[in-house]
Structure formats: structure tokens, C-alpha cells
């Protein structure tokens, strides 16, 4: 007997085939997903163990660094004792300098035998490129009679010329380069313009430390770093010696220390320290000031562009 295959039979058959395929796909994908999830779980557990191990290593390194910093803080006064006896030092701080670094450095300078004659704070407006013309004009008006500004026209060098006259003693005569009245008037003018903050008992000194922070992050970071670098360099040329000291990040391309180190003319006169945020870095800053008295300059700290960790110790 001939069996007649109806349309209904075709539909039922095709439906059965597709249903079987769907069931097979589901069962197969479930098996694959299980294996995949199992593998991912194992990888995640392995990565978690690696992260925990790295965290433990980091904690151990942090503890060692903290111990070393405590040791440097304890031994620091002995390491610098007498190296700046009968010398005078003035501190200039930027707006991002850490107050704790300033206070610790000032105390260490006193341990070295130096007299700290005061502090001048530069405001955030000082390196602002948007206020460069205003700063240049103000500097020209405030320059004491009988003194000359540098021929360079950038605001950092010009301001360094003025403040070098006000803050530093003459390298040859060890006498003030401006009268007390001229100094007070010029500092008042800069403060009135919003560029500096000065203590009332500020007196000129033989040496200067320009204390700054780390890498600058503003849109105008490169211009700001350049202004501060040129300012510090001109201060060095105005007196017996200067050190530009910054904390971590200050030696890269967006930090003032890094800008100075990229300029061979600046590094030939101005010493730089890139880790003043540590006790060891502050000791090195004092030793670098001592070296400045001998007419030498260097690049010290832990950054890749430092010549060594301290004067007399080359990078390994």
C-alpha cells in the first residue's frame, strides 16, 4: 500500500528536527558554559592570590621605607651638624609646598648651625601665565633705585632679579643689596598684587632654599614650572647660592626641578633635590647648600635624572 505523505506530516517532521537541534544546542552550550565558568573562576582565584601577594610586598616595602625615613629623621641633625655654622638662609615656598616639609627643613637648617632669616611665600598667581604681564610690570616699578634687573624678559627671571636683590646679601660684600625701606616697600607691592605673602621679620640672607611641591597638574603646568625654574635659577645668580627642592614628581617634565635639570646652563649654577618630602631628602638639601658655598652644584635625589642621592655619592 502506498503511504501518502501529507503537508501536515512534513510540518511535524521539520518541527521535530528543529526541536532536537534546539535541545542539542542548549545542552551543549550549558556544558561549554560550565567549563568556561569553571576556568574563569580558577583564573579569578589565581589573580586574587597574585594581587594579595603584591599587596603584601607593597606593605612590606612601605614599612621598610617608613623605618628608613624614621632613621634618617633621627640621624639627620647629627649628619648636618655644623655644616652651615654662622650662615644665614632664607626660605621661599611655592603655593603647593607642604608646610610639614618647610617646618622640618627649617629645623634641620638650625641643627646645621644656620640662622633662618624668614620665609617668603609665593602665591598661586606668581607662576600663572595669565598674570605674567602684570608681574613683569610690577617688578619693573618696584625695582630699587641703583639696581638692575636681568636682561631676560620672562617673568620668572625678572621676578628672581627683584627678589634676589631683596632677599639675598651681596655675594662679595655680605651686605644687603637694598635698604630695609626699599625691601619693605617692594614686598608690600608684590603682596598687594597678590603674588607673595611675607612675614614681617624677613631679613636678607646669604643662601636661599626654594621649596616646592611635586608635579604641577594645571592646564598651564609647563609654563608654571618654567617660571618657577627660571625664578630659582636667577635667585642663585643673585647671591651666594641656592637649592631648588621639590617632592616626588617634581623632577619630571611638569615639575620645576625637571625643568631645571633639562637646562644645562641652569644646572651649572643651581642645585636641585627631588625628594625633600623625605627626611633623607631634607638632609641632602642642607648638604647641597653647603656645596653651594664651595661654588658647586648638583642634581640629587631618587629620580632618573638625578646624578646621585647626595653630594659626593654618584648614582649606582
pLDDT per residue as tens digits for the range 251-286: 988 899 999 999 999 999 999 999 999 999 999 999
Euclidean distance between CA atoms 115 and 204, whole angstroms: 11
Euclidean distance between CA atoms 201 and 271, whole angstroms: 27
Beta bridge partners of 169: 176
The DSSP letter of residue 278 is S
Across 111-140, b (16+ Cβ under 10 Å) vs e yields: bbebbbbbbbbbbeebbbbebbeebbebbe
Query: In this predicted structure, what is the pLDDT of residue 3?
Result: 46
Residue in the block written with cell 579569578: 44
Question: If residue 76 lies in a helix (H) or strand (E), which one and from where to where?
Answer: helix 7-80
Beta bridge partners of 243: 209, 271
Indicate the burial class of 254 (C-beta count within 10 angstroms; 0-12, 13-18, 19 or more). middle
Euclidean distance between CA atoms 175 and 183, whole angstroms: 14
Euclidean distance between CA atoms 272 and 309, whole angstroms: 11
Query: In this predicted structure, what is the pLDDT of residue 27?
Result: 46
Euclidean distance between CA atoms 57 and 202, whole angstroms: 47
> Dihedrals φ, ψ of 68, to 5°?
-65, -40
Euclidean distance between CA atoms 224 and 65, whole angstroms: 31
Question: If residue 299 lies in a helix (H) or strand (E), which one and from where to where?
Answer: strand 299-300
Contacts of 88 (CB under 8 A, 6+ apart): 114, 115, 116, 117, 169, 203, 204, 205, 206, 207
Indicate the burial class of 94 (C-beta count within 10 angstroms; 0-12, 13-18, 19 or more). buried
Query: In this predicted structure, what is the pLDDT of residue 67?
Result: 46
Query: In this predicted structure, what is the pLDDT of residue 9?
Result: 55
Indicate the burial class of 110 (C-beta count within 10 angstroms; 0-12, 13-18, 19 or more). middle
User: What is the sign of the dihedral through the CA atoms of 216, 104, 175 and 121?
Assistant: positive
Residues of the chain scoring pLDDT < 70: 1-34, 36, 50-69, 71-73, 314-316
Whether 244 and 274 have beta carbons less than 8 Å apart is answered as no
Indicate the burial class of 270 (C-beta count within 10 angstroms; 0-12, 13-18, 19 or more). buried
Classified as helix, coil or strand, 28 is helix
Which of 266, 220, 228, 204 lies closest to 97, judged by CA?
Answer: 228
Contacts of 203 (CB under 8 A, 6+ apart): 88, 90, 117, 118
Q: Write down the domain spans for the chain.
A: 1-80, 81-300
Query: In this predicted structure, what is the pLDDT of residue 209?
Result: 98
Amino acid at each position: 500500500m502506498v503511504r501518502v505523505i501529507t503537508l501536515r506530516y512534513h510540518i511535524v517532521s521539520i518541527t521535530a528536527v528543529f526541536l532536537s537541534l534546539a535541545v542539542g544546542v542548549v545542552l551543549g552550550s550549558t556544558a561549554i558554559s560550565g567549563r568556561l565558568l569553571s576556568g574563569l573562576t580558577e583564573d579569578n582565584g589565581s589573580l586574587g592570590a597574585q594581587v594579595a601577594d603584591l599587596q603584601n610586598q607593597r606593605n612590606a616595602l612601605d614599612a621598610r621605607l617608613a623605618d628608613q625615613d624614621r632613621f634618617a629623621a633621627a640621624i639627620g641633625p647629627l649628619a648636618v651638624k655644623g655644616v652651615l655654622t654662622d650662615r644665614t638662609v632664607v626660605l621661599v615656598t611655592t603655593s603647593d609646598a607642604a608646610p610639614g616639609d618647610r617646618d622640618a627643613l627649617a629645623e634641620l637648617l638650625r641643627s646645621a648651625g644656620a640662622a633662618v632669616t624668614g620665609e617668603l611665600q609665593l602665591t598661586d598667581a606668581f607662576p600663572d601665565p595669565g598674570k605674567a604681564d602684570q608681574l613683569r610690570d610690577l617688578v619693573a616699578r618696584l625695582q630699587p633705585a641703583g639696581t638692575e634687573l636681568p636682561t631676560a624678559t620672562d617673568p620668572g627671571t625678572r621676578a628672581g632679579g627683584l627678589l634676589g636683590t631683596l632677599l639675598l646679601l651681596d655675594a662679595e660684600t655680605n651686605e644687603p643689596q637694598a635698604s630695609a625701606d626699599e625691601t619693605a616697600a617692594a614686598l608690600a607691592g608684590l603682596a598687594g598684587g597678590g603674588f607673595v605673602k611675607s612675614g614681617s621679620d624677613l631679613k636678607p640672607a646669604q643662601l636661599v632654599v626654594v621649596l616646592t611641591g611635586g608635579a604641577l597638574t594645571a592646564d598651564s603646568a609647563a609654563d608654571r614650572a618654567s617660571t618657577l625654574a627660571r625664578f630659582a635659577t636667577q635667585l642663585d645668580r643673585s647671591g651666594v647660592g641656592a637649592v631648588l627642592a621639590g617632592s616626588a614628581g617634581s623632577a619630571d617634565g611638569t615639575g620645576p626641578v625637571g625643568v631645571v635639570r633639562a637646562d644645562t646652563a641652569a644646572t651649572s649654577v643651581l642645585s636641585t633635590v627631588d625628594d625633600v618630602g623625605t627626611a633623607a631628602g631634607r638632609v641632602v638639601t642642607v648638604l647641597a647648600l653647603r656645596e653651594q658655598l664651595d661654588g658647586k652644584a648638583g642634581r640629587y635625589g631618587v629620580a632618573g635624572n638625578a646624578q646621585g642621592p647626595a653630594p659626593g655619592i654618584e648614582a649606582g
